[in-house]
Amino acid sequence: MEKNGFPVAFIDSEPIQKLFRFPETKLHRQPFIKYKGLEESLYIYIEREREREREREQIRGDQCPGHKDRERERDRERQRERAEMESSEGKCKILIFGGSGYLGKYMVKASIFLGHPTYVYSRPPTAKTSPSKIDLLHEFQAMGVSIIHGELEEHEKLVRLIKQVDVVISVLAYPQVFEQLKIIDAIKVADNVKRFLPSDFGCEEDRVNPLPPFQQFLEKKRKIRRATEEAGIPYTFVSANCFASYFVNYLLNPHEIRDNINVYGSGKANVVLNYEEDIAMYTIKVANDPRTSNRIVTYRPPKNIISQLELISLWEKKIGRNFNRVHISEQEIIKLSETLPYPQNVQISILHAIFVKGDLMNFEVGEDILEASKLYPDLKYTSIDQLLDIFLVNPPKPVVAAF
């Protein structure tokens, strides 16, 4: 049985009745964007009902004071809604690989926050999938993220998906670094992507010369950069420097009661500690900025440049106690990089490059490398001082890096 061309069960269902009762709200207009099979016919039907209601109001409202003012306000609201929908439709569609990972979850939320239709490619859940990952994917879906389950080996599926988006961002963990070659191959076949950001997000790998274990680590990432360039794909390479929450936990151990804090080398080398949420926000902006196409962008907000000794002193002032500084010499660190097994030898080599040599600040930004806080001066980033205040109240949990 049908009513106005639609099944009665459908028209009388609670979601559709809500649409009829609240015809002017933006929330109830959103289903037309998602369910394109019903969009046109249902939209025409509801607009016809609205028009009939306006005609009835006009007949009644001529004798009602303020009716024309209310009608004009409704018209303005409808125009605002249409403008917002058109603006949303004009946003680049972003596909994220590794969206459920440590940095990936921030990237997904930043993309949604900035109004982009967002897709996450994720492995199909299994009995071994952690409950926290399942909960995170459900959270993404509630935010409006489109979750596509699949493997990176499914080439044709990747190509079909990539053809639907404008920007591809990889936030895959280091063990999957060469898996990005499959993404690059799919992007080449799709031949429509406006920007690809491979999973860099650390130091500027083309401008450092670290100890051998870290050098070998970076060489794999450099191969992904060269493959991207050779494929002729529009890219942006991001040097996000240090993940601030991760390194504050590692360096200061705020979750533990300790008397000693390790200092690597002299502790005077400047580093850059950027809050993970800010890294994600900068990255989504960079991915959609024509100024950053085929460029390297580094994240060096001035208030996040700090030495290890300065960081320790700042933390001491905030918590009202002092620590014994235990210096680990450069010679000892180099020896450890030669004797420790993998991946500890990589970890100690990273500490040497960042906190002993100061490699994050050993090159100038300019024509070859753009700096994010100068590109987006209106973005209110979290300073390291503000981040330590967060650690006082609600400290982020320590995490283990994947190698």
Tokens representing 117 are 């239709």
CB count in 10 Å sphere of residue 223:
14
pLDDT at residue 11 in the model: 37
pLDDT at residue 6 in the model: 38
Q: Which residue has the tokens 């024309």?
A: 68
pLDDT at residue 195 in the model: 98
Q: Are 383 and 229 in contact (CB under 8 A)?
A: no
Nearest to 216 by CA among 355, 345, 357, 362: 345
pLDDT at residue 69 in the model: 61
Nearest to 10 by CA among 30, 37, 47, 48: 37
Tokens representing 311 are 């960081």
- The partner residues of 327 in beta bridges, in order of sequence, read 263
Cα 156 to Cα 29: distance, rounded to the nearest angstrom: 33
- Angle subtended at Cα 287 by Cα 290 and Cα 30, rounded to the nearest 5 degrees: 110
Nearest to 162 by CA among 70, 84, 97: 97
Q: Supply the pTM of this predicted model.
A: 0.78
SS3 271: strand
pLDDT at residue 24 in the model: 36
Radius of gyration of the chain (CA): 26
pLDDT at residue 367 in the model: 78
Q: One of 3, 26, 128, 221 is an active-site residue; which one?
A: 221
pLDDT at residue 28 in the model: 34
Tokens representing 72 are 């004009």
pLDDT at residue 346 in the model: 96
Tokens representing 84 are 């917002």
pLDDT at residue 54 in the model: 62
* CB proximity list for 205: less than 8 A, separation 6 or greater: 218, 221, 222, 225, 239
Cα 178 to Cα 181: distance, rounded to the nearest angstrom: 6
pLDDT in tens, the chain (403 residues): 444 433 444 334 444 333 333 333 333 333 333 333 434 444 444 555 566 666 655 555 555 555 556 666 666 655 554 444 444 446 999 999 999 999 999 999 999 999 999 999 999 999 999 999 999 999 999 999 999 999 999 999 999 999 999 999 999 999 999 999 999 999 999 999 999 999 999 999 999 999 999 999 999 999 999 999 999 999 999 999 999 999 999 999 999 989 999 999 999 999 999 999 999 999 999 999 999 999 999 999 999 999 999 999 999 999 999 999 999 999 999 999 999 999 999 999 999 999 999 999 999 888 789 999 999 999 999 999 999 999 999 999 988 887 6
pLDDT at residue 368 in the model: 87
Provide the H-helix boundaries in 203-275: 212-230, 244-252
pLDDT at residue 93 in the model: 98
Cα 61 to Cα 52: distance, rounded to the nearest angstrom: 14
Active site residue 221: yes
- The partner residues of 371 in beta bridges, in order of sequence, read 298
CA-to-CA separations, 360 to 184, 200, 245, 318, in angstroms, rounded:
28, 14, 17, 26
pLDDT at residue 325 in the model: 98
